[in-house]
Amino acid sequence: MVTRSLLSGFGSYLPERIVTNDELSQRLDTSDDWIRGRTGIRQRHIVGEDETAVSMAAEAARRALAFGGIDPQTVDAVIVATSTPDQVFPATAVRVLHELSATGGFGFDIAAACSGFIYGMATADAFILSGKAKCVVVIGSEVYSRILDWDDRTTAVLFGDGAGAVVLTASDDPGNRGLLSTHLHADGALGDILYVDGAVGRSGHSGHLKMNGREVFRHAVGRLSSAVDEALGAEGLTHADVAWLVPHQANIRIIEGVARKLHLPMEQVVVTVDRHANTSAASIPLALDEAVRDGRIRRGDLVLMEALGGGLTWGSALARV
């Protein structure tokens, strides 16, 4: 009997090219001090001409499968969270299945902006617990550099490109490891404070990301804190039980605000925003992979993940790795 979705593999991919704040200041009315003081960001990775959401997602997935010693042929499903797919269709996930030679699986994309990875984890967990799948690769892959207005310093400095992946597998281990709970929320009334201006179904729009940063910040800390309390409460746990917080990497001020609400020292928070900037749906799996591989997150640790993105969408996931 399947009792849990076990986090069995972790992987990530970052483009080789790094763009520093100083480089951005050569074309924008900004500076390293201004960007770091307001966001905590000092650099970001930007795709090369031949890199795409598919290519990054596939490489992150390969590394996650290799980490877990998992044969791609055993993959039942690939779920890709992305706001920047290569094409309207086929789905990014279907292309990734082909790249992995996972010939027996199915795949689809999730559009939930920066919350997409949490939404993807919840969806994969439902497939596994229902018996519909035994091995699901959940990926966040984003190429935000191609939807930014690079003349707008309020958004151009905030985002980067990259991909991260986690492999969930069915487990009948009576122990308490695995994905314990997920909690998803959305409020469409707040959709106009963070969005992309245009899509294939509309014309006459820029296709660039638009954001009311003040309003996003105002909603972020409270909603994220509520979501993580919800996750802990569902399992009868407290803030003191959390070994690591792995938050969406949007802004160091938001990250610090949530940590204060949880009474967690920053030493227990995985922070990559300084080096990766905001990679949207890719940010949590990128941070998770880094902290697992460098030994900070160890087997048995209780890990709390949370994210908020355009929609607004937000949510949390609690796992014992």
- With 0-12 CB in 10 A as exposed, 13-18 as middle and 19+ as buried, what is 111? middle
For residue 235, give the DSSP letter: T
278 is catalytic: yes
98 is catalytic: no
CB of 71 closer than 8 Å to CB of 105: no
| Catalytic pick among 208, 248, 251, 276 | 248
Among 48, 14, 301, CA closest to 176? 301
Report DSSP letters for 182-232, one per residue.
EEEEE-GGGGGGEEES--TT--S----EEE-HHHHHHHHHHHHHHHHHHHH
| Catalytic pick among 21, 114, 251, 276 | 114
Distance linking the first and last C-alpha atoms of the chain: 20
List, by residue number, the catalytic residues. Answer: 114, 248, 278
